[in-house]
């Protein structure tokens, strides 16, 4: 389970909203992938949802601020392995 699978759960439970990308991705940058799109950034082309740094940071902050609890994530058992991966613990 990756952040791309976690995203619908977070949206559904109103922990975060989809955000438009503020800066249009530059196709000449090294990380730009013309075949990838990000659901968090409302389908913007250039990176995959699971590789979205802003989404990852957002989830980490929700956990750090105590908004998203580990107890809740316990309920999302199927998501847990990836959440641990995300947190690097
Ligand atoms: Zn993104």
The pLDDT tens digits of the residues spanning 15-53 come to 999 999 888 788 998 889 999 999 999 999 999 999 999
Residues with CB under 5 A from ligand 1 (ion): 38, 40-41, 52
Q: Please tell me the pTM assigned to this model.
A: 0.75
Report CA(18)–ligand 1 centroid distance (Å). Answer: 9
Structural domain boundaries of the chain?
Answer: 3-87
* DSSP sequence for the chain: --HHHHHHHHHHTTS------SS---TTSTT-EEEEEETTTTTEEES-GGG-HHHHHHHHHHHHTTSS-HHHHHHTGGGHHHHHHHHT-
Report CA(19)–ligand 1 centroid distance (Å). Answer: 9
82: its two tokens: 């990836």
The pLDDT tens digits of the residues spanning 55-76 come to 999 999 998 999 988 778 777 7
Report CA(86)–ligand 1 centroid distance (Å). Answer: 15
The per-residue pLDDT for 70 is: 72
């Amino acid at each position: 389970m990756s952040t791309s699978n976690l995203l619908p759960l977070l949206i559904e439970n109103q922990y975060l909203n989809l955000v438009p990308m503020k800066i249009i991705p530059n196709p000449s940058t090294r990380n730009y992938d013309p075949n990838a799109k990000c659901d968090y950034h409302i389908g913007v082309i250039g990176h995959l949802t699971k590789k979205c740094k802003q989404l990852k940071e957002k989830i980490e902050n929700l956990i750090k601020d105590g908004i998203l609890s580990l107890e809740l994530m316990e309920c999302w058992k199927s998501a847990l392995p990836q959440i641990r991966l995300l947190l690097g613990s």
